[in-house]
Amino acid sequence: MKVLITGSNGLLGQKLVDLLKARSNINLIATARGIDRYPDQTGYLYESLDITNAEEVKLIVAKHKPDAVINTAAMTNVDACETEREACDLLNIQAVKYLVEACNLFNTHIIHLSTDFIFDGTHGPLTESEIPKPLSYYGESKLKGEKTVMEYSNNWSIVRTILVYGIVSDMSRSNIVLWAKNSLESGKQINVVADQFRTPTLAEDLALGCLLIAEKKANGIYNISGNDFMSVFDLVYRVADFWKLDKSLLNLASSDGIKQPAKRPPITGFRLDKAMHDLGYIPHSFEEGLALLDQQLTKLITHNS
């Protein structure tokens, strides 16, 4: 099977490269903006691809005619989307249309990533059939991206995910777990919201969920996240507990007290019954995820020293 991924320099992108290049039944074409930042550039093909360029998208898809395209590229900074709306529309909506149109020419299965931020957060955990109602421009743009896929594609899946954590070798991007760990290790007091609830996702689990969808040619919407439902405060508390860090540095906060341009949904979290039943998807527990991260960090530190 030939699989092309977009945004291969991102968190999910790098985990997909890890996973797919190791599979002997998969021919991987990794694509990203500019140069390839994956550390060991063997075992797959790399093409530079800016997905906001319709011609480039068409050319690369026509050149490789993949069986599946996994679209991880997106404008993912929620607050930047609130203020830079044109750029957000271009990447999260318009570019999705370019990909869908190119995929339709070769009956390529498009697997498109979306988010829990399409919901207003009044309750959770949520199933795939919940009615979306975004609170932020990011959420709105991702919902429009989903609608573009559903309306125009002949062969599609949408993968909704939540609060992804993990580590990639260039360490250029942070996420909630790394932020909490690094802040507490440096003795910084941190304010953490107790009124937002999620099912955080290990990046490796998300990559595996995407692969299962591609292999099983599963169409439709799939929730792919962790299965442990917790408040963000509880999440950070569990991070502190795992690495034996000073919990007195944690200050309970509420969303109203934290000034951010974009509104976050209070309660989300996903029910995973569909992915478990159709795909055999079984995520790691949150503490298993932290243990994996710990091993990877140790390896990275040893490698860099």
Q: Which of 17, 30, 91, 279 binds ligand NAP (CB under 6 A)?
A: 91
Confirm or reject binding of residue 164 to ligand NAP (CB under 6 A): yes
Q: Do β-strands 197-198 and 230-231 pair in parallel, antiparallel, or remain unpaired?
A: antiparallel
CB of 123 to ligand NAP, least distance (A): 18
The verdict on 250 binding ligand NAP (CB under 6 A) reads: no
Cα-Cα-Cα-Cα dihedral of 259, 264, 269, 275, to 10°? -130
Q: Pick one of 20, 64, 100, 115: the residue that binds ligand NAP (CB under 6 A).
A: 115
Choose the binding region for ligand NAP from 5-13, 17-25, 251-259, 283-291 (rule: CB under 6 A): 5-13
Which is nearer to ligand NAP, 104 or 175 (by Cβ)? Answer: 175
Per residue in 49-63, is it b (16+ CB within 10 Å) or e — as a string?
A: bebeeeebbeebbee
Among 28, 113, 262, 293, binds ligand NAP (CB under 6 A): 113
Task: Report the residue number whose CB is nearest to ligand NAP.
Answer: 10
CB of 74 to ligand NAP, least distance (A): 3
Neighbouring CB atoms inside 10 A of 174's CB total: 14
Q: Per rule CB under 6 A, is residue 76 in the interface with ligand NAP? A: yes
Among 18, 173, 288, 300, binds ligand NAP (CB under 6 A): 173
Say how many residues make up the chain. Answer: 305
Q: Per CB under 6 A, does 99 bind ligand NAP?
A: no
- Helix H or strand E segment including 222: strand 220-223
- The single residue among 1, 2, 27, 33 that binds ligand NAP, judged by CB under 6 A, is 33
Q: Is 209 in the site for ligand NAP (CB under 6 A)?
A: no
Task: By CB under 6 A, tell whether 279 contacts ligand NAP.
Answer: no
CB hemisphere CA count around 1 (13 angstroms): 21
Q: What is the largest CA-CA distance in the chain?
A: 57
Residues β-bridged to residue 126 = 270
Closest among 136, 134, 240, 262 to 192, alpha carbons compared: 240
Of the listed pieces 120-128, 149-157, 158-166, 243-251, which binds ligand NAP according to CB under 6 A?
158-166
Cα angle 37-43-45, degrees, rounded to a multiple of 5: 65
**Stretches 62-70, 160-168, 275-283, 285-293: which one binds ligand NAP (CB under 6 A)?**
160-168
Helix axes 11-21, 203-216, angle to 10 degrees: 60
Whole-angstrom Cα distance, residue 235 to residue 172? 22
In the complex, minimum distance from the CB of residue 40 to ligand NAP, in angstroms, rounded to a whole number: 18
Q: How far is the CB of 161 from ligand NAP (least distance, A)?
A: 5
**174 binds ligand NAP per the rule CB under 6 A:** no
| Sole residue written with tokens 């997909």 | 16
Query: What is the token pair recorded at 37?
Result: 């930042």
What residues make contact with ligand NAP under the rule CB under 6 A? 6-7, 9-13, 32-33, 50-52, 72-74, 76, 91, 113, 115, 142, 161-164, 173
